[in-house]
Structure 1
């Protein structure tokens, strides 16, 4: 399901938007200020973040900048009453993907969110690992704090196979054939699971007893 983060200090508007977006099938988390939005954005995976420009505690622009500096790649849509060209440029330069001026039509907001979701689904540069990500372009894992950890070729490929289908349990024989080769011993899969857990933490790969492995989280 598509997950949205809604950061808006106007409680009436926030509630109305959350209800409307939930009715459209999104899973919506709400934050009344920038600090709460920052915490949610860093600890939970989202497809799109809808962020008010003028927020208490932490401004919307600063919020986007901080999230981008910590390798959060969810699409960001800024809502604002500031509609000048310079304001829009500032929002886009901060790392936002789109900009919508208040007052806005709810149908237009929905259409813009759908467009951002399509852009997210079409992106193949990263795969999610809970609050972190696997950067396919350089074969690094990006931790939630922005730290990068390099993987060997086989570590990367094993994690990529698991992250591409995060809810699927993969048998050892399947992983052996996809990551190694048929001649390899099945125990080689266990060895590389151990290597990844040693680098990234035990929770990154879950053991499903009697069946195999599935993706966990950082």
Structure 2
């Protein structure tokens, strides 16, 4: 069977979880199941997924809080939120927390499958954007997208520096490495500090984190 993608299912209803796991595995997904938000957080941070299906109401850690924490740690997997709460305000809250789609219970399995296929296609094609916390780095337009939706233009060097950091969000990059990869004609690594200053001035101090004695890593927008 053709592999459809890796999927994290965070759902506390045992019967629904069993049904969804069996159905999705039958469609070729490699499914990991978490029965509560804390387990979902652990799996989401420790394993790479193409897509996540997260229930809105979970024990231990609410689905909104779970997704917010994952996005703050720059987890890029597409997320579909399941909920019995169907009001506009509830959907907005889910989307603001970082969900890519929202499906109200009860739902049809065929609709869930179609939405997941669409999210997996977007994940496969998502080389057009890298997530930075609740914001994005748009690789097509080469600018940053703030959580508010505002776009911030970047110079060529600012973009490339941020792209390298965003491509490996948990990695710490030394100043020497960044100088070599972004500013190969510069003789001093201090050029990196200058452009980190530029990025922070445009995007906020949290956009790039300093790891004292080691270098820089991606922050959040």
Please indicate, yes or no, whether the TM-score normalized by the shorter chain is above 0.5: yes
Aligned partner of 2:75 in structure 1 is 72
Aligned partner of 1:103 in structure 2 is 106
Cα deviation 1:3-28 (Å, max 9, x = unaligned): 00000000110010000000000000
1:135-174 paired onto structure 2 within 5 Å: 138-141=162-165, 149=173, 151-152=177-178
Structure 1 residues 144, 17: CA separation in 2 closer, same or farther (over 3 Å shift)? Answer: farther
How far is 1:123 from its partner?
A: 1.2
How far is 1:143 from its partner?
A: 9.2
Asked whether the 8 Å contact 1:52–1:79 carries over to 2, the reply is yes
Q: Structure 1: state its 5+ residue gaps.
A: 128-134, 157-197, 201-218
SS in 1 for 2:39: helix
How far is 1:142 from its partner?
A: 5.1
Structure 2 distance, partners of 1:82, 1:148, is: 40
How far is 1:139 from its partner?
A: 3.2
Total equivalences in the alignment: 153
Structure 1 distance, partners of 2:33, 2:11, is: 8
Asked whether the 8 Å contact 1:7–1:37 carries over to 2, the reply is yes
Runs of 4 or more consecutive aligned structure 1 residues displaced over 6 Å after TM superposition: none
Q: Which of 119, 122, 125 matches 2:122?
A: 119
Q: Which of 20, 23, 27 matches 1:20?
A: 23
Aligned partner of 1:83 in structure 2 is 86
Using the size of structure 1 for normalisation, the TM-score is: 0.63
RMSD of Structure 2 on Structure 1 (CA): 2.9
Aligned partner of 2:10 in structure 1 is 7
Structure 2 distance, partners of 1:30, 1:144, is: 25
Aligned partner of 1:45 in structure 2 is 48
Cα deviation 1:113-151 (Å, max 9, x = unaligned): 000011111111349xxxxxxx97523345988566375
Answer yes or no: is 1:29 the counterpart of 2:32. Answer: yes
Cα deviation 1:45-97 (Å, max 9, x = unaligned): 00000000000000000000000000101000000000000000000001100
SS in 1 for 2:74: coil
Using the size of structure 2 for normalisation, the TM-score is: 0.62
